[in-house]
Amino acid sequence: MPRRHHESHDPFDDGEGNAIGLTRAFSPVEADDYFDGAVPTDPFDSPEPQGGADFSDGFADDSADGGLAGSAAFAEAAQAERAPRHAGKHARHAKPAAEPVTAPSAFDDPELPLPDAPAPEPIPEYLRKSKRMRRILIGVIVVFIVLLAVGGVLAWQLLQTVQTTASQQAQNVTQEVSAIDGDAAAKDASTATAKKTTVPDLTALLGLTQDEAIERLQHGAQVSSTREVNEEGNPVKQDVRIALTAEPADTRSGTPTVYLGLNEEGRVVQAGYSAATSSLGYGSLSFSDAVRNEHIIEKTLAEAGVQVPDGAVTLPEDKTAYSTYASDGTTLTKEYCSFSGEVDIDGAPHAWSAVLSYDYAMANATGNLADTIRTIYVYVNA
């Protein structure tokens, strides 16, 4: 059957080249003009009709040539127009793909800043003051300990110096005394062995009155002092000191002196004498040498009229028994020893006594052993 041929007229074709025959009221708008957050559905995106329905009826020619060709052209044109528009829409509104997040590492980038450490809590004011006070106390304690140490060292050095000086002084004195002990011929340079005075006969004064004794003594005898004695059991009631002014005086011990002890009747019951050993010609003898070797006690008593055998007078074996030392325990300051005994005089027993004294005070001050004051005393009783 012959196909009908009529001229097709597209009701949507307005003759201005609109391919799908839409009026201007349905002109396509841009996505930005109506986008409200959801992708609009394109009327042309619907799936193909089920059952092979053909929508070309009424829009194209029934002829095999014109109808099929028009439908195919229309579909391709619509598809081509939709593709770029939907591609732009999806490109603008598509979310970027999430990239994997990797924690930063100090080994990946040395300049990558590390997270800040938490700020330290502020130190309370009382703790700061406490720490400062502890430092001050520690400093004071250290200084105090240092001062104690320095003071102890200085005190120890001072003590050592004093002990050394005292020891040297004692050693010097000991050496000088030892040298004198070893040299019996050593003499005082100022007196040598010259005898300057004589010892008066004391036994001849016993039983005389004061005036008679002074006349008997001569040698410029003058009374220098008197003293009353009131001691129970002591026959001496008055002491009289007589200076022999005509005799040469010693620069250290003075002039030779006579001592008279008077009883109640004014008679001499005790007579004594004192002089510097140098005036008697003994020089700078050591204490022990004067007693043991020179027999100074026996010889002086003999001159006084009391005959005592040599060797009858002895010193104690212990030197400390007649020696006095300074507070340091080594410096010799004095040697003093007394002796006594009995002897017959004209058939009558008489008691005698003697004292030898060496005073080193001036010698220690000057450092010259010759400045020692050496004095001898002898007495005889009725």
Cβ atoms of 334 and 359 closer than 8 Å = yes
Residue 316, pLDDT > 80, answer yes
The answer to whether 189 and 370 have CB atoms below 8 angstroms apart is yes
Contact 320, 335 (CB under 8 A): no
**Mean pLDDT value of segment 8-30:** 47
CB 37 within 8 A of CB 91: no
Helices (runs of H) and strands (runs of E) counted in the chain = 7, 8
Evaluate the CA torsion angle 99, 103, 109, 114 in order and state its sign. Answer: positive
Q: Is the pLDDT of residue 190 over 90?
A: no
CB of 283 within 8 A of CB of 370? no
What is the spatial distance between Cα 224 and Cα 94, in angstroms, rounded to a whole number? 149
| Residue range 163-172: mean pLDDT, rounded | 66
Model confidence at 163, in pLDDT bands (50, 70, 90)?
A: confident
Q: Kindly give, in sequence order, each residue whose CB lies less than 8 Å from that of residue 237, ignoring residues fewer than 6 positions away.
A: 228, 229, 230, 262, 263, 264
pLDDT above 70: residue 16 = no
More confident residue, 362 or 109: 362
Backbone dihedral angles phi then psi of residue 212, each to the nearest 5 degrees: -65, -40
Distance CA 317, CA 63 (A): 177
Residue 130 has pLDDT above 90, yes or no: no
If you average pLDDT over every residue of the chain, what do you get? Answer: 75
Is the Cβ–Cβ distance between 8 and 66 less than 8 Å?
A: yes
pLDDT band at 85 (very low <50, low <70, confident <90, very high): low
Q: Read off the pLDDT band of 159 (50, 70, 90).
A: confident
The C-alpha atoms of residue 153 and residue 325 are separated, in whole angstroms, by 29
Q: How confident is the model at residue 165 (pLDDT cuts 50, 70, 90)?
A: confident
Q: Binning pLDDT at 50, 70 and 90, where does residue 64 land? A: very low
pLDDT of residue 77: 57
Amino acid in the structure at residue 363 = A
Round to whole Å and give the CA distance between 353 and 379.
5
Helix ranges restricted to H, 51-124: 64-93
Q: Given a cut of 90, is residue 355 above it in pLDDT?
A: yes
Half-sphere exposure for 12 (CA within 13 Å, toward CB): 14
pLDDT band at 362 (very low <50, low <70, confident <90, very high): very high
Calpha distance 250→196 (Å, rounded): 10
Q: CB neighbours of 143 closer than 8 A, spacing ≥ 6?
A: none
Collect contacts of 24-32 with beta carbons under 8 A, ≥24 apart: 28/81, 28/85, 31/85, 31/88, 31/89, 31/92
125 pLDDT tier (thresholds 50, 70, 90) = confident
Three-state SS at 65: helix
Q: Which pLDDT score is estimated for 7?
A: 46
Average pLDDT over residues 291-317: 92
Other C-beta atoms closer than 10 Å to the C-beta of 377 total: 18
Task: Report the pLDDT averaged over residues 320-336.
Answer: 93
- The secondary structure of residue 254, as a DSSP letter, is B
Q: Indicate whether 307 pLDDT > 60.
A: yes
Burial class of residue 57 (count of CB atoms within 10 Å of its CB; 0-12, 13-18, 19+): exposed
For residue 32, what pLDDT is reported? 46
Q: Using 50, 70 and 90 to split pLDDT, how confident is the model at 345? A: confident
pLDDT of residue 286: 92
Q: Name residue 353's beta-bridge partners.
A: 340, 379
Lowest mean pLDDT, pick from 176-185, 239-248, 358-367: 176-185
Residue 120: predicted pLDDT: 66
Q: Which residues are CB-neighbours of 49 under 8 A, at least 6 positions away?
A: 55
Is the per-residue pLDDT at 282 higher than 60?
Answer: yes
Q: Residue 347: left (phi > 0), alpha (psi -120 to 50), or beta?
A: left
- What's the rounded Cα separation, in Å, for the pair 293 and 273? 22
Residues 6+ positions from 129 with CB-CB distance below 8 Å: none
Q: Is residue 331 a contact partner of residue 166, using CB atoms and an 8 Å limit?
A: yes
3-state secondary structure of 334: strand
N- to C-terminal Cα separation, the chain: 213
Out of 36-40, 244-248, 280-284, 321-325, pick the least confident.
36-40
296 or 46: which leads in pLDDT = 296
Q: Please give the pLDDT value at position 82.
A: 58
Report the percentage of the chain scoring pLDDT > 90: 42
pLDDT at 300: 95
pLDDT tens-place string over residues 195-225:
889 999 999 999 999 999 999 999 999 999 9
pLDDT at 119: 62
Between 362 and 61, the more confident residue is 362
For 314-324, what is the mean pLDDT?
93
Q: What is the pTM of this model?
A: 0.51
